[in-house]
Amino acid sequence: MIMGFDGVDLSARLRTILATLQPGGVILFKRNIQEAAQTHGLLRQIEKASSTPLFRCVDMEGGTVDRFCDVIARTPAAYEVARTGSARLFRRHGELIGVQVRALGLNTDFAPCIDLRLPESVAVMGPRTVSSNPGEVIGYARVFLNGLRDARILGCGKHFPGLGGANLDSHHVLPSVARTWKQVREQDLAPYRRLHRNLPFVMVAHVSYPKIEGENIPASLSRRWITGVLHGRIGYKGLVISDDLDMSGVLNSVSIEEAAVETLKAGSDLFLVCQQEENVWRAYEAVLKLAENEERFATVIASKAKRVCAFKARSAEVHAKFPLPPTRAKVETLRRRLWEFSEAVRLSTPSGEAITTEAGEIIGELTR
């Protein structure tokens, strides 16, 4: 489990939770981020309180999903950057986000968003998505991930198998997407097929595809999607993580206990519980209880734990030396660099040429 929590410091309560649950990681939101030095100190204390190295995570995409805008500066959204058509700016986007993430003491960014920018989802996703053209999504995401890697930050492709056709927000309700397998295979899944070796994590969405599944099962709980398609057809070998199980998109269908167990059975290696402390405990206890009472499930959990530990053991990002606390001068430097980058994005002509050529080559490969 990767867990969220309340507060801006390591309380006695949080210390007890970390010691008891021994989660695979923690995730920070704006409610945890007061200022740069405080965030760094919080994460340093959490890491020291843990018995194993942690995935120290954040959702940091820029634009409408920008956890650092109040403590550092606003970062442009993916759509703004992608419109420039500049591979140099794509990489710079990833690098600048990664540098911020690392400076505050984190090592994992759940970005980029590689959903297609389709008419159905634009009102919900806004500037988080870059294009309806799979090749252009791939072109941006590949270079963005290189930028994250330059900053020694793990990235994540999301939201598998795709929220491009969803007109509802899975934070509040389970979206049902009326797309066929042919559409999904040729379009929504193209970024995952092309980038599956570049993605340390893939995050699975709370979204249903009734024309494919035959019923409204969230992909995050679906063995067909995770084990059958992501692992089987696409050949993805990295870590699979469910989207936040505290979201109504899944909890309107099942309990938090069922969600935690079923996503693991379906093929996820990790799951997120981000909002309520009660649900963190309930998810943990459900998995533990079933593992104690069902040998087959215990074997599955042991295998997943081994995979996660092996990933961490070989991850330079997880084992990188904890950065020095961010000074005021460091924060001011980051602000200046972000301002310069924002100006470069604003002044660049959105020709699209840098990704259009690659997009054509990729689409040609995908349709052969």
Pairing between strand 156-160 and 108-109? unpaired
Query: Reduced to 3 DSSP states, what percent helix, strand and coil does the chain have, rounded to the nearest 5?
Result: 55, 10, 35
CB 241 within 8 A of CB 23: no
Mark whether 171 is an active-site residue: yes
Q: Per the residue annotation, which of 59, 188, 243, 246 is the catalytic one?
A: 243
| Distance (Å, whole) CA 246 – CA 27 | 13
Classify residue 108 by burial, with Cβ atoms within 10 Å: 0-12, 13-18, 19+.
buried
CB 241 within 8 A of CB 269: yes
Pairing between strand 108-109 and 201-204? unpaired
| Distance (Å, whole) CA 229 – CA 88 | 33
Classify residue 177 by burial, with Cβ atoms within 10 Å: 0-12, 13-18, 19+.
buried
Mark whether 244 is an active-site residue: no
Tokens of 188: 């929504």
* Count of CB atoms situated within 10 Å of the CB of 184: 21
| Distance (Å, whole) CA 97 – CA 243 | 21
Residues whose CB is less than 8 angstroms from the CB of residue 194 and which lie 6 or more positions away in sequence, other chains included:
134, 138, 142, 362, 366
CB 42 within 8 A of CB 32: yes
Active site residues: 171, 243
